[in-house]
Amino acid sequence: MNECRQKSEIICKVKQKLMLHGTGIEAVLARYKQDMLKPVNEQYIHDFSIVNEVPVITTFVPGLAEYLHKARVLLHDNTYKCIAEKEWIEWETITWLDDIDMRVTIACSYCSPEHRQDFSRIIELFYKALERVTWHPLQLKVFSGPGNSRILVILVNCCQAQMDALGDFFLKYNKSSVSGLFEMDPQKLVKHMIKVCGVHYNRNITELSYKCEDPETIARIRALPNLHTREELQGFISFCENSKEKGLRDWYANKKGMPWFWAVINHHFSKMAECHWLSIPDDTNIGESAHTLSNLYTGIGLSILEGILWVYYRAEEFDRQQLTSIQSAEASEIRHNHHNTPAKCMLANAMRKASRTTKLLATSEAQKSKKSKQAGKGKVQSHPYDAAATNDHTNGSLVEDVGLSLQQHSAGPGLGTGMCPTMHAPVPGLQSGAHPLPAPHNLSFTSIASVPQKQWTNTTEDRNATSASEWPPVPSIPLGPAAPVGIMAMGMKLVLVAA
């Protein structure tokens, strides 16, 4: 206990030395003012504003931001693990550099709630800071007209507040005289530039499946990205509206407030050029893996004070290390990771999917085998010929109780005397216990399902009283000399099993 207290005191003293202005939002503001006095290429906090008591903080390394002008795709995504309090979000901007096949986290913005107006502030402040620092506005292909603009698609998850905020930004960004787009509805402008993650969509449908009983309904909802015509889409909408599943009707009611939804999940209904859509991944896995890497470096589950300030120091160090790696790769013309080429990434992705499929099939077979064993627990093992012996082909069961009575040269057949009533010759080399029989001839076995239970007792008197004449007629099947069989004693029953 004393050691833990001493460690805590040491950590507090170190933090006090590093954070002279405390550990609150005031300390972030103080650091922002200090950064404004530095040269632009040394600044890290590029914007700090508080509107209606909601702070928005924009951070990035200027050298990394320059690479956005060479990118073809932007990924915007939230991460929540860095800060323990869920009301704070970290909004990351990520891209992929084709020249060196490397994923890069360009910027991080911090905000408290997740409302449309808050996302609008985050997006607007980020793009303004980017233009101010790099001296060039970010060129979005569809809004910039013909030229050398590179950003083809913005890839996000299906967060409605974020999508609506992006539409608001596009409305301000769009110049009709340049782009030729005279659309004034921000909800419709989204259709020209946004693509949502297919993995997030499937996860949402998986959650919906818990509320719907019909698996065919879920299969049809999952097939939405594969629709081709407006007629198919209209049929899909009618199916959702008239469904008996309340969960599906509620799901569709939510999508009514998203007029852009069909266009961002299916390229046949998108206003985006098809070549642009197909050149960009269908998921945000690049962004998700970036979250993991940055959280590994900065830590997770931190308090809000540490999340804004303490992580800030480590995040800046991490971003500058990324910049050094990129510059080194460009100078040496050696990729940071030679496995990151598009071809190798596709191959690795296909192999992972194949591996997951194999594991799922193996798990399914194991579960079926386990259920089969549990269903047959307490039943006596039998030879597959039992089904033919009893002519029971309706239930498909091959596991039956088999009574085997054998006799060594005895004329008085009976239970436990060693000979079946239908055996025509003694079995040579018969031994008691669980020993295999050597090449039995004319061996027959009988089902005891119809034998009165009173005849199968464990007393000598009852066993002797049971004669062959008292046994009910049963079918018999002779086994040839090549049949591998054996005898196993289970209580007072003898069971025919494969040797």
* SS3 state at 96: strand
Angle at 479 between CA 477 and CA 482, to 5 degrees: 165
Instruction: Quick: pLDDT tens for 156-182.
Output: 988 899 999 999 999 999 988 888 889
pLDDT bin (cut points 50, 70, 90) of residue 82 is: low
What's the pLDDT score for residue 396?
42
Task: Please state, in angstroms and rounded to a whole number, the distance separating the CA atoms of residues 481 and 224.
Answer: 62
The answer to whether residue 87 scores a pLDDT higher than 70 is no
pLDDT for 207: 92
Measure the CA–CA gap between 406 and 240, rounded to whole angstroms: 68
**Residue 220 confidence (pLDDT):** 94
Cα–Cα distance measured from residue 485 to residue 499, given in angstroms and rounded to the nearest whole number: 5
pLDDT of residue 290: 66
- 369 and 376 Cβ atoms separated by less than 8 Å: no
SS3 407: strand
Q: For the whole prediction, is pTM greater than 0.95?
A: no
Say if residues 197 and 157 touch (Cβ distance below 8 Å).
yes
- What kind and span of H or E run contains 490? strand 485-490
> Which is more confidently placed, 228 or 478?
228
> Coil, strand or helix: which one is 156?
strand
Cα 40 to chain centroid, rounded: 42
DSSP secondary structure of 138-202: PPBHHHH-SSS--B-EEEE---HHHHHHHHHHHHHH--HHHH------HHHHGGGTEEE-HHHHH
Predicted pLDDT at 104: 86
- So what's the pLDDT on residue 302? 63
Which range (109-123, 285-299, 367-381, 410-424) has the least confidence? 410-424
Rounded Cα distance between 488 and 494, Å, is 6
The pLDDT value recorded for residue 154 is 94
Q: Residue 352 — very low, low, confident or very high, per pLDDT cuts 50/70/90?
A: confident
Which two three-digit tokens encode residue 195? 């693509």
462: pLDDT strictly greater than 70: no
On average, the pLDDT of the chain sits at 73
pLDDT band at 223 (very low <50, low <70, confident <90, very high): very high
Checking if the pLDDT of 191 tops 80, the result is yes
Residue 323 has pLDDT above 70, yes or no: yes
Between CA 286 and CA 314, with CA 134 as vertex, the angle to 5 degrees is 55
Average pLDDT over residues 281-303: 70
For residue 268, what pLDDT is reported?
Answer: 94
Say yes or no to pLDDT of 30 above 60.
yes
**462: how many CB neighbours lie within 10 A of its CB?**
13
pLDDT on residue 148: 61
The 3-state DSSP composition of the chain as helix, strand, coil percent (nearest 5) reads: 50, 15, 35
Residue 253 in this model has a pLDDT that exceeds 80: yes
Question: What does the pLDDT read at residue 456?
Answer: 42
Q: Per mean pLDDT, which range of 4-18, 322-336, 356-370, 398-412 is the poorest?
A: 398-412
List the single range of 2-6, 57-61, 160-164, 264-268 with lowest mean pLDDT.
2-6
Q: Would you state the structure tokens that stand for residue 238, as one six-digit string?
A: 């009618």
Q: Reduced to 3 states, what is the DSSP secondary structure of residue 338?
A: helix
Q: Indicate whether 222 pLDDT > 60.
A: yes
- Which is higher by pLDDT, 426 or 269? 269
pLDDT at residue number 482: 42
Amino acid at 236: F
The residue ranking higher by pLDDT, 274 or 467, is 274
Query: Where residue 446 falls among pLDDT bands split at 50, 70, 90?
Result: very low
Q: Please, what is the angle between helix 246-256 and helix 230-241, to 10°?
A: 130
Identify the pLDDT of residue 371. 77
DSSP H helices in 380-422? 386-390
pLDDT computed for residue 1 by the predictor: 53
The rounded Cα 311 to chain-centroid distance in angstroms is 29
Tens-place pLDDT, residues 362-383: 888 888 888 777 766 555 444 4
Answer whether residue 79 shows pLDDT above 80. no
Gap between the Cα atoms of 62 and 308, Å rounded: 19
Element (H, E) at 186: helix 186-189
**Cα separations (Å) of 22 from 9, 28, 456?**
16, 9, 88
> Regarding beta strands 493-498 and 485-490, do their DSSP bridges make them parallel or antiparallel, or are they unpaired?
antiparallel
Q: Does the pLDDT value for residue 232 go beyond 90? A: yes
More confident call, 290 vs 455 = 290
- Which DSSP helix (H) or strand (E) runs through 498? strand 493-498
- For residue 210, the model assigns a pLDDT of 92
Q: DSSP of 228-286, one letter per residue?
A: -SHHHHHHHHHHHHT-S-HHHHHHHHHHHT-TTHHHHH-TTS-SS-HHHHHTS-SS-HH
Helices (H), 19-140: 25-36, 62-65, 116-134
Dihedral angle, C-alpha 25, 29, 31, 32, nearest 10 °: 140
- pLDDT at residue 466 in the model: 46
Query: What are 89's strand-pairing partners?
Result: 111
Domain residues of the chain, as ranges?
11-193+272-345, 376-499
pLDDT value for 463: 45
Residue 424 has pLDDT above 80, yes or no: no
**pLDDT of 188 higher than 50:** yes
